[in-house]
Structure 1
């Protein structure tokens, strides 16, 4: 399976951001990607807190319809990153996953909202449900950015049978070392593939790290998209997860 991480620079123009994202998805699919992953809150930019309310929409809604159509058009599994979801009076940071027929396979409302130097925790509502879903790409778990700092969430995904974890993110450049530490650690301690797509560029004066990665069950990076609006590509085999767990049975040795 070929995986593509699409690294976008979110700008103050949601329509242009959508057009750019769709173009990049199509290019990744044309290059052979079977699974494509987008960053966190790419339609508006994570740090554009004052734009959250206006950008929020229902799920399903206009953005998910557009993303589903692209997945169907190219017969790819598409993690559409996260968007701002409006459900009644509540706003959520919601990730969306589509199957190769364009069907919405799963949604995940970010559980751990960022409070440090951020307004996310005051403007949005936290999700409460772990997301693990059976797909034709294996059993997939969804998490978002700040979730990476909370290992219990990832262990619960493994207990649910997850072999591949997709992370959508808007990780700042000033904490880039933590990005690489956590993406590798979450992969190796849970013996899973981890695919993490991050925003790049600058929004509201905050520089985003980029460096989207694919990490294998041994904690070895398969690709790094570097900085700038680039797409990372990596070939992975989900069968390596079971091989790793059998050859080095750390998960079987747990004592609860």
Structure 2
């Protein structure tokens, strides 16, 4: 698919009702599909409140969490980057992003590699160890969860493996929203690829998430940016812009990998 319509589903996540979150996200994703989206991207940890001290036990079977999304993806022949959820597995508690393909099957399970050391996240979640790469309608896509976007090394590894679209599912605080926007733009520019970052926008006395979900092209230019309220909008991504960016500003082709390796 040369032009990929991607829906940014920015939601105010309920701290009390994962079921209400699921219902709202399914409704927004369904609406986006009817408006032409072939991919929908949801925010981080929608099945629980973020702070571990506030949450209930998130042990839920994968099928129960994803059943609505798998049906929706199959019905609309779309892909869903289903944000992330807290999953109790043999490895422990994981912050896992599922990507569901247009046939309704799970095509990627990505566990957040970089667990944030404060915010109580580091006390409970185990870190993943595997890159998150999948194919979305002919677009090689890399998946990151929130804090992962802070690490240029990870994004460069994804780009070197042929990724042309970087998707970031986030729960980024409002007070640091400038950093969120800057990091997404930087990852686009330095790797000359598309970046789509989807954030939460709910608020509580303990933490306020800042929204400003964003889509950027390989030149680092903003295609679409939401404000700090719940909204779903579609960004239209043109695959040919990746090669145009890399030819017009030859950063990618000017790298000196043979030199860099000597320093490692």
Q: Which residue of 2 aligns with 1:110?
A: 112
Give unmatched runs, 5+ long, in structure 2: none
Report the structure number with the largest CA radius of gyration: 2
Q: Which residue of 2 aligns with 1:206?
A: 207
Matched-pair contact (CA < 8 Å) for 2:166–2:196? yes
Q: Which residue of 1 aligns with 2:9?
A: 6
Q: Which residue of 1 aligns with 2:83?
A: 81
Distance 2:6 2:234 in 1: 6
Alignment map for 1:107-146 (pairs within 5 Å): 107-116=109-118, 118-146=119-147
Q: Which residue of 2 aligns with 1:99?
A: 101
Distance 2:165 2:123 in 1: 31
Equivalent residue of 2:238, what SS? coil
Shift of 1:90: 0.1
The 1:137/1:9 distance shift into structure 2, 3 A limit, reads farther
Equivalent residue of 1:39, what SS? coil
Matched-pair contact (CA < 8 Å) for 1:142–1:165? yes
Q: Which residue of 2 aligns with 1:193?
A: 194
C-alpha offsets along residues 147-167 of structure 1, whole Å, 9 cap, x if unaligned? 111110000001111000111
Deviation larger for 76-85 or 245-254: 245-254
Shift of 1:242: 1.9
TM-score, reference length from structure 2: 0.92
Distance 2:91 2:248 in 1: 50
Q: Which residue of 2 aligns with 1:23?
A: 27
The number of residues matched between the two structures is: 253
Give unmatched runs, 5+ long, in structure 1: none
Instruction: Answer yes or no: is 1:180 the counterpart of 2:184.
Output: no
Matching residue within 33, 39, 58 for 2:37: 33
Matched-pair contact (CA < 8 Å) for 1:10–1:203? no
Distance 1:253 1:89 in 2: 41
Q: Which residue of 2 aligns with 1:218?
A: 219
Matched-pair contact (CA < 8 Å) for 2:134–2:140? yes
Shift of 1:203: 4.1
Distance 1:61 1:14 in 2: 15
TM-score, reference length from structure 1: 0.94
Distance 2:94 2:246 in 1: 35
Distance 1:133 1:61 in 2: 20
Shift of 1:238: 1.7
Matched-pair contact (CA < 8 Å) for 2:32–2:233? no
Distance 2:229 2:49 in 1: 15
